[in-house]
Amino acid sequence: MGKSRAVPGLGSIKALTFDVQGTCTDFCGPLQRMGDAVNRAKGLSLDWGALSAEWRGLYRATLDAVIAGQRPFLRVDRIYRETLDTLLDRHGLGGTFDAAERDEMNRVWSRLEPWPDTVPGLARLRRRFVLSTLSNTAMSTMVAVVKHGALPFDAVLTAELARIYKPAPAVYQLAVDYLGFAPSEIMMVACHKYDLAAARAFGMRTAFVTRPLEFGPGESPDVAPEDWFDVFAEDFLDLADALGA
């Protein structure tokens, strides 16, 4: 991994907005632990790594349908809940889990775990910048994740407030309206290039943070640098170094 490479002109940055699922937190670990608990409770030997990947794929397809206007706005927690039903039906597990058990399984998305550098990195960055979430997650899920991980943000903003999802510009506009800074004074931090590309098109600065373990140890997400990133950082501590925080 290369060291962070800060570019000139970052002195005007006042606020950092963060993608959360993947960028600030690990979801694979919590999903695996949820799956292990379910297998034990039900005497099953399901492969929850594969099931989780399939669940996330179903979620992504529904989210994309909302973004494309093919479906009305639906909160992320309800998309996950609906696609969990689909997932279980597909695998002949429709009769194995009642509604309360499915609700509890779905709450795994509120128990995401911060990466080891997340809290110390945010604490350093917070001394210098206003920090906010800018996630596609539901507001109540995001508040639960922030509380669960004791993530030191100054504000919690999610796409639910715009009733449309990233990469729609209306989501990035939330940061302008509710944090009170111009786009050029705000830096979007994410481990996903589509998110940063949209933030950049909106006029925000961008920081890519590598999360090579986002999809688990066996996967290889795209963590290659791009020449249009303002900052490329290995983790939040490296980001704090790059921004002088």
Residues near a copy of itself (CB under 8 A) are 130, 132, 138-141, 143-144, 146-147, 154-156, 160-161, 177-180
3-state secondary structure the chain: CCCCCCCCCHHHCCEEEECCECCCEECHHHHHHHHHHHHHHHCCCCCHHHHHHHHHHHHHHHHHHHHCCCCCCCCHHHHHHHHHHHHHHHCCCCCCCCHHHHHHHHHHHHCCEECCCHHHHHHHHHCCCEEEEEECCCHHHHHHHHHHHCCCCCEEEEHHHCCCCCCCHHHHHHHHHHHCCCHHHEEEEECCHHHHHHHHHHCCEEEEECCCCCCCCCCCCCCCCCCCCCEEECCHHHHHHHCCC
Name the residue nearer to a copy of itself (CB basis): 54 or 154.
154
Closest CB 126 distance from a copy of itself, rounded Å? 9
Residue with smaller CB distance to a copy of itself, 88 or 240: 240
Output 102 or 107, the one with its CB closest to a copy of itself. Answer: 107
- Shortest gap between Cβ of 168 and a copy of itself (angstroms)? 18
Indicate the residue among 25 and 132 with the shorter CB distance to a copy of itself.
Answer: 132
Q: Shortest distance, CB of residue 162 to a copy of itself, whole angstroms?
A: 11
Shortest reach from residue 146's CB to a copy of itself, in Å: 6
